[in-house]
Structure 1
Amino acid sequence: MTDTPHPGRHGRLSVMCSAVDGVRIVALHGEIDHAVTDELSRALIPVDGATPPRTVVDLSDVTFMDSSGINVFIAAHHRVNESRGWLRIAAPQEPVLRVIQLIGLDAVIPCHATLEQARTA
């Protein structure tokens, strides 16, 4: 496993990227709103394109997400699918899970109760 902080930190969101068995783990901490969409996009959409991206986004420490976060997830999902990869969501807290379910994002991007389930599904 490798841990690397994502360049740049906004006061309300921090991003930690790691890899386990070829799966990128993007752990987010804080709040996801319009002020952090650029940083979130950079974290979710890989630049290198060498291999199909397999990414799990750990939302266990995200306390708030609005529609701008949903939009970033949908854009990232489309980009990753174009590269024949996948994007999964792991361990959202109840308030964030309600937003995900209300919007129907969990019907587009698989959402799992734990990081391990998301990584190995």
Structure 2
Amino acid sequence: MNISIDVKETESKLAVKVSGEIDAYTAPQLREKLFPLSEKEGVKMVVDLSEVNYMDSTGLGVFVGVFKNVRSHDGEFKIVGLSERLQRLFEITGLADIIDINSQIEGGVQ
């Protein structure tokens, strides 16, 4: 199980590109990378999951935690590039109603 996490920071915007699988084995790496970033006051975090081919509930838990952290620090959190399968996962769990998910990738996340 491999995961790659690339972070690009410009002013108060963070572009995070995740590739691979997010599961019980790789989620701790994702949490370790994203949580410190999510504690910055007013951060705008955009996470691109277009190259994630699998995610389980452990991954969803990481994103819920990061989302709550970002919001508690007056920031913005968005997930882009969801495959149909991942989009359905967010919809089934009700997270699509809470977290800003957008299937379109906006400029800057490479």
- For the residues of structure 1 that align with 2:81 and 2:38, how far apart are their CA atoms? 27
Letter in 2 for 1:91: G
Counterpart position of 1:87? 77
- For the residues of structure 1 that align with 2:78 and 2:38, how far apart are their CA atoms? 19
What is the TM-score when the length of structure 1 is the normalising length? 0.79
What is the TM-score when the length of structure 2 is the normalising length? 0.86
Considering only aligned residues, what root-mean-square deviation do their CA atoms show, in Å? Answer: 2.0
The CA deviation string for residues 57-103 of structure 1, in whole angstroms up to 9 with x for no partner, is: 10000001110011111111111111111211001111111111111
- For the residues of structure 1 that align with 2:7 and 2:84, how far apart are their CA atoms? 23
Q: Relative contact order, CA 8 A, sep 6+: which one is greater? A: 2
Deviation of 1:113 (Å): 1.5
- Identity among equivalent positions (%) equals 28
- Give runs of aligned pairs for residues 68-83 of structure 1, distance below 5 A: 68-83=58-73
Matched, 1:107 2:109: no
How many residues were matched structurally? Answer: 108
- For the residues of structure 2 that align with 1:48 and 1:104, how far apart are their CA atoms? 22
Matched, 1:40 2:22: no
Q: Give the match's secondary structure for 1:62.
A: strand
Q: Which residues of structure 1 form unaligned runs of 5+?
A: 1-10
Counterpart position of 2:13? 23
- For the residues of structure 2 that align with 1:28 and 1:107, how far apart are their CA atoms? 22
Structure 1 residues 30 and 107: alpha-carbon distance in aligned structure 2, compared to 1, 3 A threshold: same
Q: Which residues of structure 2 form unaligned runs of 5+?
A: none
- For the residues of structure 1 that align with 2:38 and 2:98, how far apart are their CA atoms? 24
Q: Do the aligned partners of 2:39 and 2:69 also contact (CA within 8 Å) in 1? A: no
